[in-house]
Amino acid sequence: MRKSLPGRLSVAPMMDWTDRHCRAFHRHFTRRALLYTEMVTTGAILRGPRERLLEHGAAEHPVALQLGGSDPADLAEATRIGVAAGYDEINLNVGCPSDRVRSGCFGAVLMKSPGLVADCAAAMIAAAGDVPVTVKCRIGVDEQEPEEVLPAFLERIAAAGVASFAIHARKAWLEGLSPKENREIPPLDHPLVLRMKAAFPDLTLSINGGITDLGMAERLLAQGIDGVMIGRAAYHDPSLLGAADRRIFGEGEDVAAETAVRAMLPHIEAERSRGTPLNAITRHMLGAFQGRPGARAWRRRLSEGAHRAGAGPELVLAALAEIADAAPAAEAASGAAAGVGNAPRPSRNPFDPERRAG
Ligand SMILES: Cc1cc2nc3c(=O)[nH]c(=O)nc-3n(C[C@H](O)[C@H](O)[C@H](O)COP(=O)(O)O)c2cc1C
């Protein structure tokens, strides 16, 4: 079996969201979390604009490429290309239920074909050299019984050489639910995934689905799971990643959102000079100050201005000034509301454990 990356925390692959600009931003909050690309299909890699699809920055590592496909030869070739492009892990998508994905016979529908997934994984492993090949799956699809299907799936794919899995702890319904509904409606079953770790102690298992903060991640890790994968919460509130290195990996200093935003300015300048529109980058930064005074003004400044021709780093700095300006005003208002100047005030520190308690 291949060694897997020590992904105690990862940011989930999210199509249209976790592109290289988003990953660059997330990386400024955490040096340690494993970042995933969006899913890229084998067809797009083999016959599409490969260089653009696989482009990633040197600072993004560790970064995993997620592939979508179900043809072992194509997946092997795409794996070879992904490894040559410098990715640290190649992941196979067995969890995505979208129409487009179903018609191509890959993603979550593959939960019904563990033999084919095993063939795909074996072909990918043979092509990957020392780079780990991992699988992201669901606990089952449609009428499948997760208690039976999931262990059988893990056993079969592990026998093909996969040592590391990320498990989205809910079923996917292939008919009748939209992809979005498939991330919300089927109930989460974290305990089942935790039991899988007990049943397969030699596998590296990450749990995914509905993890909203680092407190929840810590509690799951304390129950023995190897890794926690966070998707939407990290995207909508990326500053939660700013405490991840300290809390999850036991090293490093917390990173404030202001620091991460400022650290993006060189990336923004470089991308602007290549002709990348500002909003292609800043759309991933809208949630940076989630829950803090000035967050709305920050979002509004960026949303209204970033699509304009010529918009650049100065707009980001102007939006950042909204946060700085809002803080004293919010403080004064909370003091006035309390009626006294030195009354206890709610913390504005985004890393205050009370604010993140989950
Ligand atoms: C906008 C969006 C796009 C997604 N695209 C992918 C994808 O390309 N590949 C994949 O395996 N999962 C994809 N997912 C699912 C996430 O990786 C994750 O499994 C799911 O959101 C549950 O985790 P969460 O509750 O932490 O968000 C996507 C989710 C969202 C919200």
Tens digit of pLDDT for each residue in 174-206? 988 999 999 999 999 999 999 999 999 999 999
Does residue 168 have its Cβ closer than 6 Å to ligand 1?
yes
Q: What is the pTM (predicted TM-score) of this model?
A: 0.91
Q: Is-contact 179 96, C-beta < 8 A? A: yes
Residue nearest to atom 30 of ligand 1 (CA): 14
Q: Which atom of ligand 1 is closest in space to residue 95's alpha carbon?
A: 11
Does residue 150 have its Cβ closer than 6 Å to ligand 1?
no
And the tokens for 327?
Answer: 């803080």
> What would the mean pLDDT of 295-315 be, rounded to a whole number?
96
Measured from the Cβ of residue 349, the count of other Cβ atoms closer than 10 Å reads: 12
Does residue 230 have its Cβ closer than 6 Å to ligand 1?
yes
H/E stretch holding 133 reads: strand 133-138
How confident is the model at residue 1, as a pLDDT?
Answer: 43
How confident is the model at residue 331, as a pLDDT?
Answer: 73
How confident is the model at residue 335, as a pLDDT?
Answer: 66
Percent of the chain with pLDDT over 70: 90
Residue nearest to atom 28 of ligand 1 (CA): 14
Does residue 232 have its Cβ closer than 6 Å to ligand 1?
yes
Q: Is the pLDDT of residue 327 over 70?
A: yes
H/E stretch holding 167 reads: strand 164-168
User: Residue 82 Cα, ligand 1 centroid: separation in angstroms?
Assistant: 21
- The residue ranking higher by pLDDT, 65 or 346, is 65
User: Residue 106 Cα, ligand 1 centroid: separation in angstroms?
Assistant: 15
Q: Please name which of 77, 104, 80 lies closest in space to residue 93, comparing C-alpha atoms.
A: 104
User: Residue 233 Cα, ligand 1 centroid: separation in angstroms?
Assistant: 11
How confident is the model at residue 176, as a pLDDT?
Answer: 87
Does residue 95 have its Cβ closer than 6 Å to ligand 1?
yes
Distances, alpha carbon 326 to alpha carbons 149, 193, 321, 331, 333, in Å: 52, 43, 8, 9, 10
- Please give the span between the terminal C-alpha atoms of the chain, in angstroms, as a whole number: 36
Tens digits of residue pLDDT in 124-157: 999 999 999 999 999 999 999 999 999 999 999 9
And the tokens for 227?
Answer: 């890794």
Q: Is-contact 261 288, C-beta < 8 A? A: yes
CA distance 109 to 94: 7
Q: Which domains does the chain have, with CATH numbers?
A: 9-248 (3.20.20.70), 257-338 (1.20.120.1460)
Choose one of 183, 189, 207, 213 to mutate for the ligand 1 pocket test, by most ligand atoms within 8 angstroms of C-beta: 183
CA distance 169 to 167: 6
Does residue 66 have its Cβ closer than 6 Å to ligand 1?
yes
How confident is the model at residue 104, as a pLDDT?
Answer: 67
Q: Please name which of 205, 212, 162, 165 lies closest in space to residue 188, comparing C-alpha atoms.
A: 212
DSSP structural state of residue 141: B
How confident is the model at residue 353, as a pLDDT?
Answer: 33
Q: Is the pLDDT of residue 352 over 70?
A: no
> What would the mean pLDDT of 66-83 be, rounded to a whole number?
97
- Residues with a catalytic annotation lie at 96
Q: Where are the alpha helices (DSSP H) in 30-104?
A: 42-47, 50-54, 72-84, 99-103
